[in-house]
Each structure stands twice: as C-alpha cells, then as structure tokens.
Amino acid sequence: MQSLELLTEGNYFHIYNHGIDDQDLFRETDDYNYFLHLYEKYIDPVAETFAWVLMKNHFHLLTRIKENMVYKYSNADRSNDAVRFEEIKWETINLNDLSASEGPDSVVKNKKPQPHLHFSHLFNAYTKYINKQYQRRGNLFERPFKRKQINTQSYLKQIVIYIHNNPVHHNFCQHPVEYSWSSYLSCISVKSTKLQRDSVIGWFDDVGNFKYCHEGKIEIEQIEKFLNINRPDSVRRT
C-alpha cells in the first residue's frame, strides 16, 4: 500500500477524491454551491487554489499549502456566541503578521493548523449536508483522499489543463468554457476572484496562450499515471 504524502507548507498538490462506490457527490446546483461555500470556510485559511473542477462523482484541485500560518483565534478567545465562534475559529493569519504588541506569548497560543485535517473537515461537513439533503447514511467520499505533490512548472501547467479538460474528457461538453463548475471561466475573466489567477496565467505567459494550450490534445493516461489515478473515472450524466 502506497504511503500518503504529507501536505507540507509551501508546496503544490493535486488533490483528488471520488464518491464511495461510484456514488454521485453532486446532484443539484445547490450541492455544487454548498461544497464551494465549505471549501472557502475550511480550505482557504490553509491553502491557495490554482485550479479546480467539480464533476458529478469526483473532483480535482490544484492547491499550494500556505506557509507560516497560525490560527487567528485561540480556544481562550471563545465567546458565549458558539455559532459565531464556529464560523471564525478556522480563520488563520500569517505568523509574520503577528505584531510584538500582542505580547511574547502570542506565537505560543496561536496554534498551527494541520492542512489534512482541514480537508477532512470539509469532506465530513459536506457528507453531513448530503446525508441530510437526500436522506442517506454513511460515508460519501473514498478514504483517504488522494494527493500528489507537483514539483515542476511544466507539470503545474499540465495539471491545470487536465483539470479544466476533465468535463471534456468525460463528454460533458466540447470545450472547458462550456462547463460552469471549474476554474476555467475565472481564469479568463477579469472579475474579482480568490483563485490565484495571475499566477496561473503567468505560467502560460498570457491569457491568449492559456486558451491556446487548452485547445490541444493532452496525454490523459500519462497524466493520470503521474497523479496515481489508477483507473479511469466513470461519470454518470444523469
């Protein structure tokens, strides 16, 4: 059995997961939106996102784990407003931004997050939502979730193209621009986004070349072998 890679600070990772027993993860528009809401809550505090796609029964992400992050609020800061604390307790702050005025114990009390637990919280929270929404029980995602460190810019570009072309590969559309649940549209837009769009476009030099590179043929099997995706994804359209 292959050991799992640690989500180490400052490194890029392709993160992938699949519905258990090939079950759908997303059935309605609200499901996609709610997953993205939870993603912002749990993952944005610990990782930057460079590409993503949500398919019916699986998803792909390209992230970079943030460096020098600590939780903004310690347990000692918990107020009587338990609901509000549940919303803010995941927030992080860069260790370099902690001022000396906060006192010598500021670094000690502010614990470092563990990124893999943030992903686990995301999957658990979404599973609870789906189980309640569709009167089901049990696990929703395969465990453990897959992750692969990406070390070269060449592969970063290939992974971006692979992620955005996943709906094309599975015959959901003819071109990534036609699919709503990926980061492709954010990459070619000028609207504000938390996606690391400038970095992604920079890997391709400019938007024109970004679009051009997404038009060409990609080596699906070669990339999936590199990413340790050992079997082709099957996606039900209905």
Domain boundary residue among 82, 109, 136?
Answer: 109
Could you tell me if residue 231 is inside a domain?
A: no
Closest alpha carbon to 122 in 236, 6, 15: 15
Rounded Cα distance between 124 and 141, Å, is 9
Instruction: State the pTM of this model.
Output: 0.87
Question: Domain containing 126 — which CATH number?
Answer: 3.30.70.1290
Residue 232 lies in a domain: no
Q: Does residue 7 fall inside a structural domain?
A: no
Return the DSSP state at 182. B
Domain that holds residue 190: 12-68+113-226
From first to last of its 238 residues, the chain has per-residue pLDDT tens of: 456 789 999 999 999 999 999 899 999 999 999 999 999 999 999 999 999 999 999 999 999 999 999 988 766 555 556 566 677 788 899 988 876 545 445 555 678 899 999 999 999 999 999 999 999 999 999 989 999 999 998 899 999 999 999 999 999 999 999 999 999 999 999 999 999 999 999 999 999 999 999 987 776 777 777 777 755 445 555 4
Alpha helix segments (H runs only) across the chain: 29-42, 82-88, 106-109, 115-133, 153-164, 166-169, 184-188, 197-203, 207-213, 220-226
- Looking at the structure, do residues 164 and 220 belong to the same domain, yes or no? yes
Q: Are residues 82 and 185 in the same domain?
A: no
Burial of 203 per CB tally in 10 Å (0-12, 13-18, 19+): middle
Instruction: Please check whether residues 45 and 84 belong to one and the same domain.
Output: no
Q: How many domains does the chain have?
A: 2
Is the domain of 142 the same as that of 155?
yes
